[in-house]
Chain A
Amino acid sequence: ENVLTQSPGTLSLSPGERVTLSCRASQSVAKNYLAWYQQHPGQAPRLLVDDAYTRATGIPDRFSGSGSGTDFTLTISRLEPEDFAVYYCGQFATAPITFGQGTRLEIK
């Protein structure tokens, strides 16, 4: 299976800062079928970015995805208070679908 590794595990940042999250796959993700999710405590994950760089409906443009092959990133250009959450990447190219272990964004 395609193992996804996210880094860092936890980030402590302040509102207004820019952040880049990393997701590395053990095998190339075909057709860049890589998605990013945001999850707040007690809630379901919310799809942010699909196909590596396509923002989902209603997602603010401060969120941007990039990358290809085995290396992908999610950038939040200017952190808002509601952005502090856990972020997961997931590959949807080959079964079994797999997710990274998550990156937690904390308020500094």
Chain B
Amino acid sequence: QVQLHESGPGLLKPSETLSLICSVSGDSITSYYLIWIRQPPGRGLEWIGFVQSSGNSNYNPSLKSRVTMSVDTSKNQFSLRLTSVTAADTAVYFCATGTGWTAESWGQGTLLTVSS
């Protein structure tokens, strides 16, 4: 069973850049779609996008101009970078994996708060 764990800053100021890492254990990330999803407090799920170790990626058009995802197969990790954050980016950020586009295994999530 794949296990995932997100790590990140917790708190950022508006206009700063978010960098999150998802560490994966139990299997090689080369087998999966590597997915990021977020959930604002008290609200529903928003798909951010996915990346594969091949470099293939697909981002939500609503965030595409600010998002970059990357993969480090040597560490079995993948990462999310989101630039120019605002209060609207306050959310729990989940990483997930899937053998297809479906998010099958999830991390526990990490809360990002954007506040001055």
Q: Which residues of B contact A46 (CB under 8 A)?
A: 106
Residues of chain B in range 41-58 having any CB-CB distance to chain A below 8 Å: 44-47, 58
Q: How far is the CA of A101 from the CA of B103 in the complex (A)?
A: 17
A96–B101 contact, CB under 8 A?
A: no
Q: A96-B62, A97-B47, A102-B44 are in contact. Are A44 and B107 (CB under 8 A)?
A: yes
Which of B44, B98, B106, B108 is the one whose CB lies under 8 Å from A101?
Answer: B44
Which of B44, B101, B104, B109 is the one whose CB lies under 8 Å from A97?
Answer: B101
Main secondary structure of the interface of A (DSSP, over half): loop
B94 touches A (CB below 8 Å): yes
A44–B102 contact, CB under 8 A?
A: no
A35–B102 contact, CB under 8 A?
A: yes
Q: A35-B102, A44-B94 are in contact. Are A96 and B60 (CB under 8 A)?
A: yes
Interface residues on A, range: 20 to 34
Interface segment, A10-18, A76-84, A87-95?
Answer: A87-95
Which of A47, A100, A101 is the one whose CB lies under 8 Å from B102?
Answer: A47
Q: Which residues of A contact B109 (CB under 8 A)?
A: 44
Q: Which residues of B contact A100 (CB under 8 A)?
A: 44
Q: A44-B107, A50-B102, A92-B102 are in contact. Are A99 and B44 (CB under 8 A)?
A: yes
A residues sitting closer than 8 Å to B (CB atoms) are 33, 35, 37, 43-47, 50, 56, 88, 90, 92-93, 95-102
